[in-house]
Amino acid sequence: MTKRRYILIGISAACVLAIIVSLVISQPRKYTKSQKEGPASKESPQLPAEAHGISNKDSITQTVQDLSVPHYDEKGKEVLVMRGKSTFLLSNNVYKIVEPEIEVMDSASTENGTQSVLITSDSGEMNNTSNEGYLSDNVVVHLDPETQLNTDYLRYLPEKKYVYTDDPVTINGKGVKIVGQGCEIDLINKKMWIKKDAEMEMDGIKNDLFFLSKDIASHNDAQTSQEDTSHSEENTSKETPLEKTFIRSSGQLIFDRNTDANIMTFNDNVEVRKGGSTVFSDKLVVYLDPKTRQTKQAIASGNVLASQGTKIAKGSFLTWDVNTQSAILEDAHKAEFVKADLNIDALKMIFYKDA
């Protein structure tokens, strides 16, 4: 009996001991697990609020505030500066930049002094090895104080001092709005072109873009009465503020900035509309006064067809000049002008605005 009692007590003690051992062993395991989780949480710290576009998988190795990286030409002159509000260098040797800026210095001196081209956006990225990168989200290219280009994405090539995009772009300037597909900008030479499908809307100019309007008479048809001329000028003065000039083309629209003129060249399937006047051509070059931004001259070339109602003109070139208030229709073989019962064929015809 005493032996059986000892056996039962031994079994009970063994059970209690097993329970105590299991509890002791289970506690260190929980503690060890929490220890293992600790370092992992330290490796992925909370990212700064301004670190847009950086995932928790990216490892930030360096942070720079108010970044400024100048670039110099072979003569040691500063030609370009890259800036950033906040810059994060990642482990893959890529810079993530918050509110990046690219400023290109203009060495050409004008009456208004030197002008720089400034490019801004909400975010950007740059490879630390090649210095190539991009700007994205609300990209704005400030071409001058009154003209800017807007797009969503812009690629930057530092060796060529060159930016480009295949995304839609919009250019807004004084009295001008242009939309198109894709854009390339030579930052140093201040040249820019829209790749294709350009459309421009221009505020009404003082006189009609071409001669096919009520207040312009043919040099060969100067018999118009003073009464009709006065009536025509009165109508024109009323209509001009309401009329806009629309130009579209399927090819490149090239911008060139010179000291005496800003030049826009439209290529391929060009169409110009102003009021009831329409001009089709292969190419159109528009010269703008850099101060007033008004049209100085426009030259349509290649299969030119101009029309307004029953008036039709055909030729290889049609040149309109604001200084001489004239339009010149030319063709190496035969230019044609048709108006009601008047039909003129010639190599060159000059049309003047009736005074």
Quote the CA–CA distance of 137 and 124 in Å, as a whole number: 8
Region 122-147: mean pLDDT is 89
Residue 258 has a pLDDT of 83
Q: Using 50, 70 and 90 to split pLDDT, how confident is the model at 354?
A: low
Q: Where are the domains of the chain?
A: 60-173+180-186, 203-353
Contacts of 325 (CB under 8 A, 6+ apart): 207, 352, 353
What integer is the mean pLDDT of 82-95? 87
First to last CA, the chain: 141
pTM of the model: 0.73
Strand partners, 320: 298, 327
Contacts of 114 (CB under 8 A, 6+ apart): 105, 106, 107, 108
pLDDT at position 49 = 56
| pLDDT higher than threshold 50 for residue 76 | yes
Tens digits of per-residue pLDDT, 239-272? 445 578 899 999 999 999 888 888 999 999 999 9
The pLDDT-based confidence of 52 (bands split at 50, 70, 90) is low
The torsion angles phi and psi of 85, rounded to 5 degrees, stand at: -65, -50
CATH of 203-353, one of 2.60.450.10, 3.20.20.70, 3.90.76.10, 3.40.109.10: 2.60.450.10
Residue 235 has pLDDT above 60, yes or no: no
Summarised one tens digit per residue, pLDDT across range 189-216 is: 878 999 999 999 988 655 555 544 444 3
Fold match flag (60-173+180-186 vs 203-353):
yes
Statement: residue 348 has pLDDT above 50: yes
pLDDT of residue 140 exceeding 60: yes
Give the pLDDT score at 9.
56
Question: Per mean pLDDT, which range of 5-14, 136-145, 175-184 is the poorest?
Answer: 5-14
Architecture of the structural domain at 60-173+180-186: Sandwich (2.60)
HSE, CB side, 13 Å, CA atoms: give it for residue 79: 18
